[in-house]
Structure 1
């Protein structure tokens, strides 16, 4: 059978299996095992355990559970509330300062926790009621938190970037750096739209908040600055050549646990057990998907599907930007239905040869892919952040939350366009810090 037709059949079968309700990892194993048996015989099943566990034989994978422990220990404390309160006290006199402080808190907490739902829950529980109490439109209050929560998969340290680096054998350090400027760009675009929407509402009271004394501003900082220092320390150790990503993640996880115990009194064994239990559960889920995706990639390569698609794309006389547009549409649709980790691990083996053949930078493409995944987090039918916000503020209709998040989707699309026009936004910092690639 022609590998291209076979690839289409594999894609349809994968979609049907995943939509049946089975977990992503198990679904990938079912599809991979089925096609290997059909086309290579029963002997191919003997290789599956070796490939499955061999995919996990990678030192860089240790950074995933460590960064998850960092995020879980932060999410289990009042760090989100304190971060929100600190920014609110310092920015309240700026026009529209409350919505800016909410977005800033989302960006910082997302960077610390790496979890989009955790960010929405931690910041939204305080931010949404406060914004509504002061008269901010429900769409701005809900949409800004839903969109701000997505920043965690772009701003380093990002588990999504680690997964992309492992799947494509790309430098994780460069990927982290590549997400910094685009992440700040998105924060700026989100803030600009929020201020415009606030101004458009016509309520002058929204443009100035309550006044705080200098004592009130400084008293909250000791509970927030240690976490921020850890994040900066992790990044400095990584890019200063002091330690590998896995080593810095381990130290960061330990320090976050210590701060959670010392500052937030998270000393009870039951509380620590919850942190470690949730971290283990999420880590195992991600690692199982990575292992299953390795078997899936082997199946695609063994049946010559990946190579045939890359060769077929190379023979097309299509403008490379038209090709990139088609790739973005594919990623956008996939992100509507599947979590970012699953999309990256399934799509990377197919898309990376296409991207390189078309002359695009894989580091730059990682940022484009991640922003597409961010859009999926606030888009139906599976937009997880929308349902988290709905749980926080059940009296705000899901339609209002969705409509409130749409302008932020437009901001993300604008960011993708800007990155296409100015790819240096993603590639300049990695090259400046780690040197230009050959």
Structure 2
């Protein structure tokens, strides 16, 4: 059978299985086993357990549960509320500064947690009621937090960047650095739109928060500074040649747990157990998807589907930017229905040879892919962040949250365009810190 036709059958079968309601990992295993059994016989099924567990035999994977523990320990405290309050006190004189405070708090919390839903929940619980009380439109209040939460998968440390690095055998350190400037770019675009929207809705100065004394501004810093020092310490250890990403993640997780216990009195064993339990659940889910995706990739390669698709696209006489546009559309559609980790693991084996053959940098492409996944987090029908915000403020309709999020989607699309025009936005910092890739 023609491999391209077989690839179409695999795509249809995968969509049907995933939409049946089974978990992503189990769905990938079912499709892989079915096609291997049908077209390659029982011999290939004997290799599945070896591939499944072999995919997890990677030291870099240890960084995933460690970074998840790091984020979970922070999310279990008042760190998000303190970040929000600290920025509110320092930006109180800025017209419309409250929405800027929320977006800044989202960016900082994202850098500590690496989780979009956790960022939305931690900052939204404080920020949304406060913005609504001060007269901000519901769409701006809800949309800014939903969009700010998506920064968790772009600003390092990012679990999705780790997954991409493992799936494509790309330097995780470079990927983390590549997300810094685009992450700050997105924060800036979000803030500009929010301030414009606030100004357009009325008197922006009326929406400013109350006044604070200098003593009140400084008194909250001791609660925030330790977490910021941990972020800087993790980055310094990683890029100063002191430790590997996995070792750095372990130290960061331990430090975050200690800070949560000392500053936020997270002493009770039941609370620590909840942090470890939730972190274990999320880690196992991600690792199971990684293992299943390894089997799925083996199936695609074994049936010559991956090679045939790459060869077919290579023969197309189209401009490489037209090709990149098609890839972005594919990623957007996939992100509407699947979580970022699943999209990366399923798409990377097929897309990586295509984008490298077309002359695109895989580090740059990781950032473009991640921003596409961010758009999926605030777009229906799955749009996880939309439902998190609706859970925080149930009296704000999903329609209002979606409407408020759409301008931020436009900001993300603009960021992708800017990255296409100026690829160095993603590659400059990794090249400066780690030298140009060979």
Which interval holds the TM-score relative to the shorter structure?
A: over 0.9
Q: Determine if the alignment matches structure 1 residue 405 to structure 2 residue 408.
A: no
Matches for 1:150-189 after TM superposition, within 5 Å: 150-189=150-189
Tell me which residue corresponds to 2:222.
222
Q: Determine if the alignment matches structure 1 residue 18 to structure 2 residue 18.
A: yes
Structure 1 residue ranges (4+ consecutive) displaced by more than 6 angstroms after TM superposition: none
Distance in 1 of aligned mates of 2:244 and 2:302 = 33
Q: Determine if the alignment matches structure 1 residue 263 to structure 2 residue 263.
A: yes
Distance in 1 of aligned mates of 2:385 and 2:313 = 35
CA contact (8 A) 1:80 1:109 kept: yes
Distance in 2 of aligned mates of 1:56 and 1:172 = 16
Tell me which residue corresponds to 2:422.
422
Tell me which residue corresponds to 1:76.
76
Tell me which residue corresponds to 1:148.
148
Question: How far is the alpha carbon of 1:371 from its aligned partner?
Answer: 0.1
Tell me which residue corresponds to 1:67.
67
Question: How far is the alpha carbon of 1:94 from its aligned partner?
Answer: 1.1
Q: Which runs of 5+ in 2 are unaligned?
A: none
Give the TM-score normalised by the residue count of structure 2: 0.99
Q: Which runs of 5+ in 1 are unaligned?
A: none
Distance in 2 of aligned mates of 1:410 and 1:334 = 18
Distance in 1 of aligned mates of 2:412 and 2:153 = 13
Tell me which residue corresponds to 2:320.
320
CA contact (8 A) 1:378 1:402 kept: yes
SS of residue in 2 equivalent to 1:66: helix
Tell me which residue corresponds to 2:357.
357
SS of residue in 1 equivalent to 2:241: coil
Distance in 1 of aligned mates of 2:127 and 2:415 = 25
Distance in 1 of aligned mates of 2:407 and 2:325 = 20
Q: Determine if the alignment matches structure 1 residue 249 to structure 2 residue 246.
A: no
Distance in 1 of aligned mates of 2:167 and 2:95 = 44
Question: How far is the alpha carbon of 1:42 from its aligned partner?
Answer: 1.0
Provide Cα deviations, 1:346-397, integer angstroms capped at 9, x if missing partner.
0000000100111100000000000000000000000000011011111111
Distance in 2 of aligned mates of 1:162 and 1:381 = 26
Tell me which residue corresponds to 1:112.
112
Distance in 2 of aligned mates of 1:171 and 1:344 = 16
Question: How far is the alpha carbon of 1:207 from its aligned partner?
Answer: 4.9
Q: Determine if the alignment matches structure 1 residue 201 to structure 2 residue 196.
A: no
Distance in 2 of aligned mates of 1:231 and 1:162 = 17
Question: How far is the alpha carbon of 1:202 from its aligned partner?
Answer: 1.3
Question: How far is the alpha carbon of 1:437 from its aligned partner?
Answer: 1.2
SS of residue in 1 equivalent to 2:46: helix
Matches for 1:328-367 after TM superposition, within 5 Å: 328-367=328-367
Distance in 1 of aligned mates of 2:271 and 2:210 = 35
Question: How far is the alpha carbon of 1:110 from its aligned partner?
Answer: 1.1
Distance in 1 of aligned mates of 2:206 and 2:437 = 48
Distance in 2 of aligned mates of 1:282 and 1:333 = 24
Moved more, 130-139 or 205-214: 205-214
Tell me which residue corresponds to 2:282.
282
Q: Determine if the alignment matches structure 1 residue 310 to structure 2 residue 316.
A: no
Provide Cα deviations, 1:151-179, integer angstroms capped at 9, x if missing partner.
01000000000000000000000000000
Distance in 1 of aligned mates of 2:258 and 2:55 = 32
- Aligned residue pairs: how many? 438
Distance in 1 of aligned mates of 2:110 and 2:205 = 29
Distance in 2 of aligned mates of 1:57 and 1:389 = 37
